[in-house]
Structure 1
Amino acid sequence: MIDGDYELLTDDSMLHEPILLVMMTGWIDAAGAAAAAVEAVIEECETSPLIRFDDDTFVDYRARRPTMELRDGVNTNLRWHHIELTAGQSPSGRDILVLSGPEPDMNWRRFSKAIGDIAVELGVTQMIGFGAYPFAAPHTRAARLSCSSPSTEVLASVSFARSSVDVPAGMAAALEHTMHDRKIPALGIWAQVPHYVSAMSYPAASAALLDGLHEATGVKIVGAGLRNEITIQRQRIDQMIADNSEHQNMIHQLEALHDAAVEDDADAANAAAEMRIKSGDEIAAEIEEFFREQD
């Protein structure tokens, strides 16, 4: 089956009340945490391509040029950026759909409608979006999750933090409304990544996203490789700051900010917020410089 906007690559997929997981590159994904979490889902669910969207309709090649594979002067291949919907099953047998690839550069409403129509046709029962953003948080605490949804009922079903802020939206945010309009529960799950490590991988945030997926949907993805890396990276970062009292003090300040938010202590939160305003960017800059010197 071929639609003007997409091509159905296989017609032998029998899906039962699948969950749709969305993570498109090109928007905020600090430390690549969301991409790594989705890769763990794709690997454990053994997904395979179901639908491929038309590149010419949704991708700006000037912004996302194909990669030319040049071998001894021979132009052997061009690797294009594809938006795909893949299908698989979780280890417990739950059907999973994964929407991945570059975030569309154009025709957002058209793309959202196409995804919404496909979701209804395939019987999608829930949409989850993954993302990660840099935040004034310490690496010595578990990565915290925040959430977004057009539905207060969906928000009430999870324990994640909630914010009030006006920010540019990504495609996942648009899809939340598309699903909500079609009576499909939609939830965006965001991991907070310590801003001083947001330029490197941060598996703790990826693991937190997988835990958030489990809480929101009941689907458990182990992500053993990611979880094995958490302790190793924690030790590496601890070692980097161990001999610097100034950086240790900065981490303690960030811990105070984090703990105040978790404990919902208004006085402590206000004090921590003032600390963040005064020193948040300085902390990031100094620790990033420290990391560069260590490298």
Structure 2
Amino acid sequence: MMDPGALYTVEQDVWESLTGTRPVLVHLLEGYVDAGQVARQLSEHLLESLDAELLATFDHDQLHDYRSRRPQMVFDTNTWTSLTDYRLALHKVTDASGRPFLLLSGPEPDTQWNRACAALLQIADGLDVSQLVTAQGVPMGVPHTRPVLVTGHATDPELVTDNPVWIDRVVVPGSFASMLEYRSGQAGRLACGFVAHVPHYLAPGTYAPGALAVLERIRAATGLDLPPGELATLALQTLSQLEGEVDSDGELGPLVQALEQQYDEVQSTGRPSVPSADEIGAAVEQFLAQQEGDDPEGSRGTHQ
């Protein structure tokens, strides 16, 4: 393996300001299954609502497959006017009570996963990170009219005791965030994550209630003071807009009613009809196909 330390560049003054703080490292990456764009919404909310300073920048040309995920460019009349470039960056963010933490955001690496994991664990060792935390959304057969279910996971299974029993044991394609959590556990570091169950009919768009639900779980797990702010407002607006859509859509209304019945039965009996690995795999494949074929901002599931 090439030197992991050569993969990133540190802002030394920001690094030194973190000495002795034992910060939490929150990693919220884009590019894998993230129904409702939960991770993206959460990272944007944290960077926009709290004070943030750039701590480290990764050499993304080493990690990104540009022919797989091409940057968007704008051509106007006779010239290129803009380029939406990719950046994987680690910020020092200060919560509402003045406590610093780290936030890794940007696209999921396409290559060199082991080296990138080693680089992040090198940073975690250097700053004595107290724990690593992540979040995402997955498409599930749940209604938006009920509280968002959240599945937790951790390198110490005893820390996760209150999961909704909707999924048992399943084999799924790995993500970089999952690998980082696994490698953290191997290195003896505490790491955990939270997965919001996003209604499958809203998965391609932005679903603020899902992002709000995992924000609350991160607050509880880390003790960080992370005000919901605009995210809570967006969640309320989303649910209000959906109420009107259910009333006017002849197909959506019956679907939501059927999901409500299933949800209520599971909550009351505690004996769900657990989906099989094939069913979960099919749902993920369908979601990925929608992501590739549709503009998320134009889908029914986009509510901002």
Letter in 2 for 1:83: L
Letter in 2 for 1:161: P
Q: Deviations over 1:131-172 (max 9, x none)?
A: 10111010101111112223213324xx34363211111111
What aligned pairs does 1:131-142 form with structure 2 within 5 A after superposition?
A: 131-142=136-147
- Equivalent position of 1:24 in the other structure: 29
- Which of 230, 235, 239 aligns to 2:240? It is 235
- Equivalent position of 1:53 in the other structure: 58
What aligned pairs does 1:149-160 form with structure 2 within 5 A after superposition?
A: 149-156=154-161, 159-160=162-163
- Equivalent position of 1:90 in the other structure: 95
Would you say the 8 A contact 2:29–2:39 is kept in 1? no
What aligned pairs does 1:74-85 form with structure 2 within 5 A after superposition?
A: 74-75=79-80, 78-85=83-90
- Equivalent position of 2:164 in the other structure: 161
Aligned-residue identity in percent: 27
- Which of 115, 130, 138 aligns to 1:110? It is 115
Unaligned runs of at least 5 residues, structure 2: 291-298
Aligned residue-pair number: 276
Q: Which has the higher contact order (CA 8 A, sep 6+)?
A: 2
Q: Deviations over 1:226-276 (max 9, x none)?
A: 21122322222222222566643332221122223334532xx34x979xx
Letter in 2 for 1:233: T
Distance 1:24 1:154 in 2: 23
- Equivalent position of 2:9 in the other structure: 7
Distance 1:189 1:35 in 2: 14
- Equivalent position of 1:248 in the other structure: 253
- Equivalent position of 1:64 in the other structure: 69
- Counterpart of 2:14 in 1: which secondary structure? coil
- Equivalent position of 2:294 in the other structure: none
Would you say the 8 A contact 2:14–2:92 is kept in 1? no
More displaced stretch, 69-78 vs 132-141: 69-78
User: Do the aligned partners of residues 91 and 160 (structure 1) sit closer, same or farther apart at CA in structure 2, a change above 3 Å counting?
Assistant: farther
Letter in 1 for 2:14: D
- Equivalent position of 2:225 in the other structure: 220
Distance 1:243 1:26 in 2: 33
What aligned pairs does 1:121-132 form with structure 2 within 5 A after superposition?
A: 121-132=126-137
Shift of 1:183: 2.2
- Equivalent position of 2:295 in the other structure: none
Letter in 2 for 1:7: T
RMSD of aligned alpha carbons: 2.9
Letter in 1 for 2:204: A
Shift of 1:3: 3.9
What aligned pairs does 1:132-211 form with structure 2 within 5 A after superposition?
A: 132-156=137-161, 159-161=162-164, 163=167, 164-211=169-216
Q: Deviations over 1:152-205 (max 9, x none)?
A: 13324xx34363211111111001012212322111211111111112221111
Distance 1:12 1:205 in 2: 32
TM superposition score normalised by structure 2: 0.81
Distance 2:82 2:46 in 1: 29
- Counterpart of 2:160 in 1: which secondary structure? helix
Shift of 1:90: 0.7
Unaligned runs of at least 5 residues, structure 1: none
Letter in 2 for 1:12: V
